[in-house]
Amino acid sequence: MKELVERLYPVCRSITGDGLRRTLEIVGEHIPLTVSEVPTGTEVLDWTVPKEWNIRAAWVKDPSGRKVIDFAEHNLHIVGYSTPLHATMPLAELREHLHTLPEQPTLIPYRTSYYSETWGFCLRHDVLESLPDGDYEVFIDSTVEDGHLSYGEHVIPGELTDEVIFSCHVCHPSLANDNMASVAVAVELAKRLAVQKTRYTYRFIFAPGTVGAITWLARNFERVDRIVGGATLACAGDRGSLTYKRSRRGDAPIDRAVEHVLRESGRPHKVIDFSPYGYDERQYCSPGFNLGVGSLTRTPYAGYPEYHTSGDDPDFVTEESMADTLETLWEAVTVLERDRRYVNLSPYGEPQLGRRGLYDSLGGRSDTKQAQMAMLWVLNLSDGDHSLLDVAQRSGLPFATVADAADALRGAGLVKE
């Protein structure tokens, strides 16, 4: 995962363009991707697919002819969607188009201007403060013209056509945690699922933020009713503890699964309620769709000093954090896959488990007492209304122990799905 982050990091991405295509191409080397190209001007819900932006070079030269800002040195030096320009101007005029972080003078900020025709550069504040007066040559070799918006999908078919979606935004240039770490985690999760026999169908969506998710939704109205839930993935590699943001529903299957996994882990974490601000969960959870899609991050957006700055580089991302994010997702998927509702076929009194060999089957287990209790809880709550996750939460037993007990009881003919 760390190697993939390092490879993706230098690519200059935006909501459209060749950098976005290159990102999808690299992801496609790891998992098969179906890439869609949606033409500029296409109406997608209340939005319109914008013009495509590509950039080849951009720099500013001081009065001596020395390059003091150079896009070739860092992608964040150019404001995203800057229009082409070649001009000479005094420093006072140039400063109106320069963006810095005075409170973080050694970092380059990330700025964009997707929907208004303008231009600009980003730089370290200490560099700005050192610029001499005089005339500056400004050059931006870019195009903003009709083209396409690109997004990629990877689908793992399951026994059911019901889908779980995981969505990552792939539009940020040279920001490692936000969001290439999440892309790498999603790729690894997809690889794991691909070698499993799954109950649900899993769909991974790699799209530019906001307008990309809106475009996908606009083009997939017929699929929405089959989506049982999912999560947006972002900021998956920083050293902060995990944060789960519930879906708009608040009690969707993914909400309950992730919360259970985090609580059982004993690790520091946060679970927060839905708000219509953040990543693309706000598109999937818009009231017309109201999908059970939450958001899993480590430190949430804008919650760490390096957020949307040059400080969010590959060194900021740790292998341990990405592995922890991946394992949490894997455990949540396992809960989704194994969660069922059962009906007790011998509901009048407690059935005799010993003569069915169920107690004997537990011999040698380190959690024999837990397993016995799990059988009793499953039998008692198998009324068609309670799921196995309900059983685990009410009993305080590990979900895996409860699911194993249900498998044993089903095998003995005492419960049915």
Characterize the bridge pairing of strands 67-70 and 52-61: antiparallel
Q: What gap in Å lies between CA 166 and CA 13, rounded to an integer? A: 20
Distance separating the N- and C-terminal Cα atoms of the chain: 38
With contact defined as beta carbons under 8 Å apart, do 173 and 19 qualify?
yes
User: What amino acid occupies position 12?
Assistant: C
Residue 62 assigned as binding residue:
no
Q: HSE of 104 in the Cβ direction (CA atoms, 13 Å)? A: 17
Closest by alpha carbon to 398, among 264, 256, 254?
264
Could you tell me where the DSSP H helices lie in 340-386? 368-381
Taking only Cα atoms into account, the Rg of the chain, rounded to an integer number of angstroms, comes to 26
What are the beta bridge partners of residue 102? none
Cβ neighbours for 202, distance < 8 A, ≥ 6 positions apart: 155, 156, 158, 163, 164, 165, 166, 190, 193, 333
Backbone angles phi, psi at 216, to 5 degrees: -60, -45
Q: What gap in Å lies between CA 371 and CA 359, rounded to an integer? A: 9
Residue 308 assigned as binding residue:
yes
Output DSSP code: residue 62.
Answer: -
Residue located via tokens 């927060």? 272
Would you state the structure tokens that stand for residue 96, as one six-digit string?
């109106």
Q: HSE of 56 in the Cβ direction (CA atoms, 13 Å)? A: 6
Q: What gap in Å lies between CA 86 and CA 101, rounded to an integer? A: 26
With contact defined as beta carbons under 8 Å apart, do 342 and 373 qualify?
no
What is the SS3 string spanning 263-282?
Answer: HHHCCCEEEECCCCCCCCHH
Residue 169 assigned as binding residue:
no
Give binding residues for Zn(2+) as ranges.
172, 178, 308
Give binding residues as ranges.
172, 178, 308
